[in-house]
Amino acid sequence: MENEWVSIAGYPDDVKSQLAVERLLTNGVDAVAVDKRDRIYRIGEIEIFVHRDNVLIAKEIIKDL
């Protein structure tokens, strides 16, 4: 059950990550954003996770972001 969700992309800012999640949800793909940035220096990324069965379709949906 641990490996059911796969990271498909990472974005440095909130806007692009939320746009990606909304686009995936609109197209019927369950997605979550996990903020892995440092709280003080804001380095790192917000990663987008989808169910492993939806990886290919999810990458296709968000490829132009």
pLDDT confidence of residue 42: 78
pLDDT confidence of residue 50: 98
Domains in the chain, number = 1
- Give me the CATH number covering residue 44: 3.30.70.1530
Residue ranges making up the domain that contains 50: 2-62
What is the average per-residue pLDDT within 8-12?
A: 96
SS3 of the chain: CHHHEEEEEEECCHHHHHHHHHHHHHCCCCEEEEECCCCCCCCCCEEEEEEHHHHHHHHHHHCCC
pLDDT confidence of residue 2: 67
In this predicted model, what pLDDT tens digit does every residue of 19-65 receive, in sequence order? 999 999 999 999 999 999 988 887 999 999 999 999 999 999 999 98
Q: How many CB atoms lie within 10 A of CB 19?
A: 14
